[in-house]
Amino acid sequence: AQTVTQSQPEMSVQEAETVTLSCTYDTSESDYYLFWYKQPPSRQMILVIRQEAYKQQNATENRFSVNFQKAAKSFSLKISDSQLGDAAMYFCAYRSARGGSEKLVFGKGTKLTVNP
């Protein structure tokens, strides 16, 4: 079974600085998808960024980028120019590309605090 591990329960960053959130995963599959979701105090889960495992290029969405290391099974999220609105829980998630595997497997999350 696949597992997702986020080793940092909490992180903090100064406004306008850069922070990196770590995520590792365990799988025997070669084709899969990885995601970072943000959960602000409103509780709603919001997709931040996604990465297809077959793509070597790291995904980027504005201030958010990932460092995808397939061999190391690592998928970290970098937030540049941090803003107060980035404060939230961040969840890393894995999904198999195999047909019939609709389940997203989540890590336990990292709570990000942004200090003014």
Partner 1 sequence: NAGVTQTPKFRILKIGQSMTLQCAQDMNHNYMYWYRQDPGMGLKLIYYSVGAGITDKGEVPNGYNVSRSTTEDFPLRLELAAPSQTSVYFCASSSAGVGANVLTFGAGSRLTVL
Alpha-carbon distance 113 to 15, whole Å? 10
Across 66-93, b (16+ Cβ under 10 Å) vs e yields bebeeeebebbbbbeebeeebbbbbbbb
64 binds partner 1, rule: CB under 8 A: no
Stretch in the footprint of partner 1 (CB under 8 A) among 13-21, 55-63, 70-78, 103-111 = 103-111
Exactly one of 11, 24, 27, 33 binds partner 1 (CB under 8 A); which one? 33
Counting contacts by CB under 8 A, is residue 62 touching partner 1?
no
Number of H helices, E strands in the chain: 0, 12
> Could you say which of 57, 72, 102, 116 contacts partner 1 (CB under 8 A)?
102
With CA atoms as reference, report the closest residue to 104 among 36, 41, 42, 48.
Answer: 36
| Residue of the chain from 58, 64, 65, 106 that contacts partner 1 (CB under 8 A) | 106
- Looking at the DSSP bridge assignments, the partners of residue 64 are 61, 79
4 makes contact with partner 1 (CB under 8 A): yes
Does residue 55 belong to the site contacting partner 1 (CB under 8 A)? no
> Interface with partner 1 by CB under 8 A: which residues?
4, 9, 33, 35, 42-47, 50, 91, 93, 95, 102-104, 106-109
